[in-house]
Amino acid sequence: MKFEVTAQDANARRGRLTTRRGVIETPVFMPVGTAGTVKGVDPKELAESGYGIVLGNTYHLMLRPGVEVVAAHGGLHGFMGWEGSILTDSGGYQVFSLAPLRKLTDDGVIFQSHIDGSRYELTPEKAVEIQEALGADIMMVLDECPPHDAGESHHREACRRTTRWAERCLEARTGAGGALFGIVQGGVSRDLRLEHLETIAEMPFEGLALGGLSVGEGPQRMAEIVSAVGPQMPSTRPRYLMGVGLPQDIIRAVSGGMDMFDCVVPTRNARNGQLFTRDGPIQIRHAAHTKDTNPVEPGCTCPACTRFSRAYLRHLYLSNEILGARLNTLHNLHFYARLLEDIRRAIDSGGYAAWASRTLQRLEGQVISKKV
């Protein structure tokens, strides 16, 4: 993996990430392909929407269909029919948020599947082994992600454990796999974050991530941490803000120097009928759209806007039709792809701060719920 910063505008930066699968312009947004599919769309449509990298969830894939099934297809690319790059998480975050029972030790974590209750173990070594078997182009270290409101000592302990696990992940890689990114924890404590960053930054990771944000601490506190920590992250390596986020979160994080993002918001909200537009999001189920023959957003070049009306999408939503979820998802993914294009263009032109301020002002009045 190669990474070069191609332009800088205050702390915001443009970059070019080259994986073994292709070239990705940053800042970049990665749609989430939880169970080996970005929900609602065909991988061809992802590429057509301008995406070059997606995220795969190790936790979900190890539980179902199981790593050996994916490996029988030569990895996740072959399994899900995606030729672009894939970043996989380590599974740790989902173990902490989804598994009904878990036992955490310094060695790793033993947990029950939320699907059938069967027992699994995830250690740093196992996390790397699985991600290599999945054929990830970028792998993430196993980390401990405490609840945002865990106490200082819990967060400090999670940093210590994450550091130890990071070392073991580095030792575990065979070299045959993709790049490996380290993760910085530390909750919403600026000092703890910077301290942990210093430790992780010294290790030979190809990229660094901020984990444990966008987990309930609120957009303001998240923005504070990102603006304090982001610019201190090593400038020569990509900086990945995990699990973020809404358009305004991404815009702010780019101001803080972050390069990579992933989130279920565009896809999940689409399935729940929330469609992003430049003038703020709309709820397609609202009665106002009943007879509206206009597209969701005039000028949008997505398959939904170029061929179907708000009234039709509302009808599909109310009728619980598959095509509705699909068209809504394509629209939101187009919106995010265009947002990131706009961000990159603004940095290239050296006017990011002004662009961000204008755009945030327009978005700020809008109520966008992460969980619709």
Q: Point out the residues that are catalytic.
A: 89, 262
Give the three-state DSSP class for 304.
helix
Q: Tell me: does residue 117 bind a second copy (CB under 8 A).
A: no
Q: To the nearest whole angstrom, how small is the minimum distance from the Cβ of residue 84 to a second copy?
A: 14
In the list 7, 8, 25, 65, the residue contacting a second copy (rule: CB under 8 A) is 65
Neighbours of 16 (CB within 10 A): 14
Q: Tell me: does residue 40 bind a second copy (CB under 8 A).
A: yes
CA distances from 293 to 270, 276, 289, 306, 315 (A): 19, 18, 8, 12, 12
Q: What burial letters (b/e) apply to 122-157, b meaning 16+ CB within 10 Å?
A: bbbbbbbbbbbbbbbbbbbbbbbbbebeeeeeebbe
In the complex with a second copy, the residue whose CB is nearer, 88 or 214, is: 88
3-state helix, strand, coil split of the chain in percent (to 5) is 45, 20, 40
Helices (H), the chain: 43-48, 58-63, 67-72, 76-80, 92-97, 124-134, 152-172, 190-201, 219-229, 247-255, 265-271, 303-307, 310-318, 322-348, 352-364
Q: Tell me: does residue 314 bind a second copy (CB under 8 A).
A: yes
d(CA 279, CA 257): 26
Q: Tell me: does residue 145 bind a second copy (CB under 8 A).
A: no
Mask for 315-344, x = binds a second copy (CB under 8 A): xx-xx-xxx-xx------------------
In the list 68, 106, 364, 365, the residue contacting a second copy (rule: CB under 8 A) is 68
Q: To the nearest whole angstrom, how small is the minimum distance from the Cβ of residue 42 to a second copy?
A: 6
In the complex with a second copy, the residue whose CB is nearer, 247 or 273, is: 273
Q: Which residues have a Cβ under 8 Å from the Cβ of 366 and sit 6 or more positions away?
A: 280, 281
Q: Tell me: does residue 160 bind a second copy (CB under 8 A).
A: no
Q: To the nearest whole angstrom, how small is the minimum distance from the Cβ of residue 166 to a second copy?
A: 31
Q: To the nearest whole angstrom, how small is the minimum distance from the Cβ of residue 306 to a second copy?
A: 10
In the complex with a second copy, the residue whose CB is nearer, 6 or 294, is: 294
In the list 93, 240, 312, 355, the residue contacting a second copy (rule: CB under 8 A) is 312
Footprint on this chain of a second copy (rule: CB under 8 A): 35-37, 39-42, 64-65, 68-69, 72-73, 79-81, 290-291, 293, 303, 307-309, 311-312, 314-316, 318-319, 321-323, 325-326
